[in-house]
Amino acid sequence: MEYRRLGRTGLRVSELCLGTMQFGWTADEGSSHEVLTAAFDAGINFLDTADVYSRWAEGNPGGVAEQIIGRWLKQSASRRDQIVLATKVRGAMGEGPNDQGLSRRHVLMACEASLRRLGVEVIDLYQLHSVDPDTPIEETLDALHDLVRRGYVRYIGCSNFPAWKVMQALWAAEVHGWTSFVSLQPHYNLILRAEYERELEAVALEYGLGVLPYSPLAGGFLTGKYRPDTPIPADSRGAKSKRIQAYLESGKGRSVLEKVEEIAAKRGLTASQVSLAWLLARPSVTSPIIGPRNLSQLKDNLASVSARLEGEEVTTLDAASSWND
């Protein structure tokens, strides 16, 4: 495992980030702890979660993934000192009108709640999960700056922000002397490139932002588990995801997967490893967020860090997945 600077900070994070959206959803606490321990032992020092994980699961009130991580951290005093812990705020954590969003009130209360669930005194990277059109960015940044000054948060970042909104936030922070974003989380993979590359990539490179792509395997499509000529299993994520179904129906999606699998076969790799290796080779990417729900998936993902692609292989994948046709 190698370590990369998070943007222009001096903080070093593993080249793979362990995402925890599956914790308390498709992975129970025992399985989640197994994945956390194996990832940590393999050199992953970067964990990403969110307060809403996994509120969409039946009977899950949200905050469960944070609680699972908190109980894992308590098993060993040394873990917290070595882990870079990231979480997010924005989503609904209750039914009240102020139980969501990026207002000063919700941001401060949500941070305190995340600290309690995680069982820690400080969050390393606190991220805005998505834009809140009802709250001025100045109000949100002022609240985040206060959290940093109080010692509750070390760095701040954003997720699912369009380029213009990132620029607005960077400008406001500079004008007011507030803490500024050091990272962003885009939805980015071999299938979905334009959303990030059209504008966000230039912003990340120009302003030195760390880039943490989520859904690097396109919801499982880039693992090869869904086949154009095979019905989608009724109990799979693909059966409920219109996005994955669209990938299957798209000629381009099938073409990208075909090239990925060709390279994988020649190199003795899996499709997942090739797809992650492509992201790791992108000049602006810091640490793709993997989301294994079991040890087998984690082991497969970990092997991507040694699967360095050749220039010709990268060119082939770039051409197959190009959005600039």
Residue 53 contacts residue 64 (beta carbons within 8 Å):
yes
Q: What secondary structure letter does DSSP report for 241?
A: -
Amino acid identity, position 195: E
Distance CA 119, CA 45 (A): 17
- Token pair, residue 178, equals 């507030």
- Token pair, residue 303, equals 């092997």
For 101-254, list the strands marked E by DSSP: 123-128, 153-159, 181-185, 210-211
In this structure, the number of other CB atoms found within 10 A of the CB of residue 147 comes to 22
Side-chain half-sphere CA neighbours of 317 within 13 A? 26
Among all residues, which ones are annotated catalytic? 53
Longest dimension (CA), the chain: 56
